[in-house]
Structure formats: structure tokens, C-alpha cells
Amino acid sequence: MRLRAARALVGGLFVGPVVIEVAGDRIVRIRPADGDERVDHDIVDGVLTAGLLDLQINGSFGVDVASADADGWRTLLTGLAARGVTGIEPTVITAPLPDISAALVRVGRARDAFADAPVARILGAHLEGPFLAPARKGAHRAECMLAPTPENLDALLGDPAARAALRTVTLAPELPGALEAIRRLTGEGHVVAVGHSDATAAQVHAAADAGATMTTHVFNAQRPLTPREPGVPGAVLTDERFFVGTIIDGQHLDPRVVSLVLRSAGRRAVGVTDAIVTAGLEAGHWHDFGGQPVANDACGLGRRPDGTIAGAGIVLDEGVRRMIAAGLDPAAVLSACTENAARSLGRTDIGHIAEGAVADLVQWDAAWHPSSVWIGGRALAVPAR
């Protein structure tokens, strides 16, 4: 397959016109277009990018990743792919350890079951809890929170299938045993993110010394940046060792704050949704999430009955549109959701338009809606808007 694109996102910049040659499921060549080549798909208007990667997604379309069955996973992964999201880290939140372990096992089974299907890829599970600070609990259940002691890690990861499914762990580095846990988890190949934390900047830097490399939803549920204590945001924005996960729904953070993150972190900024079961649904329909009810409000935020924000009610392509509509640089926004996200997991085979990368691609129209999507070089049917 050959695609010609007037503009394509390559290496964080829009370039073009280019011809992208795909063989099997891989991009094998990228070269300047001369205008005379025969191609299978000619992208004259709009932009071509790698597929979006959402590294913090608890569910969408009425499906909760912690309890999804085979039909639920199919609904979720198919619906996301049609919206240009070609890879995800299903996110499991705070719960009793046996429930978490069981949820991780189910994520691993789904990853294997849908590995060859033209749907969003499961990149491994993101565990957000239970090793969080009760003072920064957000929508998590404080009664289920634990310190990341060796005993609790053993209980969590005792099942080999749960351990194999796990990719990222969010924890509060100020908790007893946290630095030892970070060293253990990163030593076993997991990504550790700082989040739901009351840590000082010094404690955050100590977490980086121990191996932490990611931040979970910067500015949300963490000690804030103040004039004489940088807190979690100030630490991760200025420490080059951290990627900076940033919710781009325009509600968790004002777009001007997202712009600040993009300008400060640059290629370390990672755009996510923190989407929950209500994402992609209309307002007012109640669902269970983390053992408590949640529904979207009129702005697309998932809220508990008391008004507590539980997560985003949008899919990542809508976050891209919201940020661009707010005046943020499209290349920076899209890079945060593709190339930067992939690098935060140590991967260059996804999230990139590059020779050797998997041909997960999205064509965006002039209004920044996905108009064509390819998974491993296979074209998907994208519903008309």
C-alpha cells in the first residue's frame, strides 16, 4: 500500500508532501512525493499521523476495563479504533488486592485475544492504585489504599498472569516503602508513575533516582506548585527524567495550563483522557465505576453523586479537537498523544510515522475528525459523523 500525504506528522513536525509505503503491517519507506507516483490513498486535505495512544483510560462506551467481558472489550476496542485511538493502557483503579489482580488477569487475556484483530491494541495495564496518598485520593476509595510494602506487592503480583499484564504503576512516592517498590517494579520492566501524591519536590526527585519516569495527570490529585515548594508539578516539569501525563479534556485542566505543560515539558508531555465508563455517552446515564456511581455532566466530565470528578467523559480524539480549538499548536498536541506517549513506554514501533514502525495511521480532516484509520496497514470503516 502507498499513501501520499500533503502533510504528515513525522518527528514532532508537519512535513510533506510525502509518500509512505507499507508492506504487511509495517511502514517500510518514507520519501518526498514528486506528484507523479501511483498511490492507493491520496491525502490532499487534512493531516496524516500515527494512531493515538491513550495511556490512561478506565473505559468508554459503557464498558469498564476492570470488569469487561469479551463483548465489552470488543465494543471498547472497536469503538476507540474508529475514533483514531490505536493503542491503550487499560487503567485499573484502587480496589481490594484480589480484585485488582483478577482485573489485571482479564486485561492480559483481552490483550492476547484481540492481538491480531483490527482494533485498538492493548499495550499492557496501567494500575492506578492502591498505593496512593489518602490526602490526594480524588475519586479513589481511601479505605482500599495501602502502602507499597513487599508483602502487598507480592500479593498483587503473585499471579504470573497479572504480573505479565501489568505495564505501568501509579503510586505516591512519599509512602512507606515506596522507593524500594519503585526500584523493584522498574527492575522488573514496569513503568512507575508519580500520582495521587502529597510528595514534596524532593520526594519526587528521589522517586526519579529510584527509577520513576512518568507522571499521572499532572496538577490533578497532587501537592500543587507553590512559590516556595514546587510540589509534584514543579518537580516533574523541570526534571528531564519524567514524562508528564496530562489530561486534555479541557475540564481537568484549563487549556492554558495544558499549553504551559506542552511548552515546559516539550517532547516529554503525554496527552491522555483519564476516560471512564461514561466516555462517549450522553450526560445523565449512571454507571458503576470503582464501586461507586458515576455519570457525565453537561461538559463531558464523569462525576460522583457528590460532584467529585471521577474521570473524563470523552475519547482522546475529542481531546485533540478541544485543545486545537483552544489555540494550542496541533503538532504539539498530536505529538503528545502519539510519539511522546510511545517513547514514555520505551517504544518507537508504535505512535510514530517512521520506517520500521507498525502502520497504525490516522487521516484527520480539516475539522480534526478522523476520516480514515489503518491498523497494521488494514483500513477500518470509520462511521460518518
Catalytic (active-site) positions? 274
DSSP H helical ranges for the chain: 70-82, 97-113, 150-157, 160-165, 178-187, 201-210, 231-238, 255-265, 316-325, 330-336, 339-344
Q: In whole angstroms, give the CA distance from residue 121 to residue 347.
A: 14
How large is the C-alpha radius of gyration of the chain?
Answer: 20
DSSP conformational letter for 51:
P
DSSP conformational letter for 142:
G
Q: In whole angstroms, give the CA distance from residue 317 to residue 49.
A: 12
Q: Give the three-class secondary structure for 136.
A: helix
Question: Do the beta carbons of residue 156 and residue 101 sit within 8 Å?
Answer: yes
Q: How far is CA 142 from each of CA 93, 114, 136, 166, 220, rounded to the nearest angstrom?
A: 12, 34, 9, 22, 17
Q: In whole angstroms, give the CA distance from residue 245 to residue 78.
A: 24
Q: In whole angstroms, give the CA distance from residue 277 to residue 83.
A: 16
Question: Do the beta carbons of residue 50 and residue 362 sit within 8 Å?
Answer: yes
Q: In whole angstroms, give the CA distance from residue 134 to residue 123.
A: 28
